[in-house]
Amino acid sequence: MDLPINIDLIQDAAHRLDGLAVKTPLLESWQINDALGMRCLFKAECLQRTGSFKFRGAYTKLSRFAEDARKNGVVAYSSGNHAQGVAAAAGLLGAKATIIMPSDAPEIKIDNTRGYGAQIVLYERNSEDRAEIAHRLVEESGSVLVPPFDDIDVISGQGTIGLEIAQQTAQMGIEVDAIFCPVGGGGLLSGLALGLAATLPDAKIWCGEPQGYDDVIRSIVSDKREMADVIVRTICDSIVTPQPGIITVEIIRRLVAGGFAVSDREVKDAMIQLFERMKLVVEPGGSVGFAAATQQRAQFAGKTIVVVLSGGNVDRDLFGRILLQSD
């Protein structure tokens, strides 16, 4: 099968996002480089509008709807980052957004989503089906659904990160050996991989996933769309997707070399390093790429890698407890 997205679609997304999305900086710490024995460049997507990469895909999707398709509003379901991305994108395009969020989502994500002007519908994660609530809303209101990851427009928006990494490393005269990226449903990872396939074809792409939620890593190895063991607990709330998408898994299998599962302890240690050395606030799910690179430092010794820090939306209580090592 041909890959469903070509580079033109990602370049079109970059054009739509120009001046609206932050061209997030590529940052490094000589101390981290020394400690890990490799050169680590961080794509600080936590500094993106809405605090995560999700704005890129959401805005790309919404801007490609014809204007009258948006007039009855847009609907999305999300534990938080996609919610904020859709809410902010809808606000910029003058569309009404309704977001279905789990009642236990981090407060900062619920508050921010409301702050972007969206209406929030809370549901119980264990007893209600968010997709069903969303489809009912779409039918009742004539609004359109913005899928969180398994969508060509959304994937192409996230892919703009790959184009920026290629541009930024070229400007710095850096040859990249490998890229590390967090993965949940696979929207970011598959978009990134497509963007890089066209621009940095020699860089190998690896993903990080929370232990227990290693459905993508196992899907790369097997030829099935694997399921996560959803009973496991993890602090990586933003990437606890039980299964990759149908489109995303296809792209990931073709373009991603493999992945590494990381423990909550490894994620917290990565967050503390990013706090101390990079002065960046990175959420647990946003840190798993760096946790994976740290875990695999022997294998990548002497290499130059780019690590995507995908978001920074973490409640201040949790971040404070992690810093004080009381969590």
Cα three-residue angle 314-311-182, rounded to 5 degrees: 115
Give Cβ neighbours of residue 123 (< 8 Å, ≥ 6 apart): 100, 101, 102, 103, 130, 133
**DSSP for 217-259?**
HHHHHSSS-----TTS--S-GGG--SS--HHHHHHHHHH--EE
Distance from C-alpha of 181 to C-alpha of 305, rounded to nearest angstrom:
11
Specify the residue, 127 or 326, whose C-beta has the smaller distance to a second copy: 326
Q: Of 17 and 197, which CB lies nearer to a second copy in the complex structure?
A: 17
Q: Residue 25 CB, nearest distance to a second copy (Å)?
A: 5
The residue with tokens 């809410």 is: 87
Whole-number CA gyration radius for the chain: 18
Structure tokens at 44: 């600080």
123 vs 275, which CB is nearer to a second copy?
275
Residue 207 to residue 258: CA distance in whole angstroms: 6
**Min dist. Cβ of residue 183 to a second copy (A):** 21
C-alpha dist (Å) from residue 23 to 8, 122, 162, 198, 310: 19, 32, 11, 19, 13
- Kindly tell me which of 115 and 258 has the beta carbon lying closer to a second copy: 115
> In the bound complex, what is the minimum distance in angstroms from residue 87's beta carbon to a second copy?
12
Residue 8 or 111: the one with the smaller Cβ distance to a second copy is: 111
DSSP tag of 52: B
Between the alpha carbon of residue 305 and those of residues 15, 27, 51, 176, the distances in Å are 27, 12, 23, 6
Residues at the contact surface with a second copy, assessed by CB under 8 A: 22, 25, 27, 30-31, 46-47, 49, 51, 88, 108, 112, 115, 272, 275-276, 278-282, 312, 316-317, 319-324
User: What is the closest distance, in whole angstroms, from the C-beta atom of residue 56 to a second copy in the complex?
Assistant: 16
Cβ 58 to a second copy, closest distance in Å? 15
Q: How far is the CB of 60 from a second copy (least distance, A)?
A: 18
Closer by beta carbon to a second copy, 116 or else 149: 116
Residue with Cβ nearer a second copy (82 or 204)? 82
CB of 51 to a second copy, least distance (A): 6
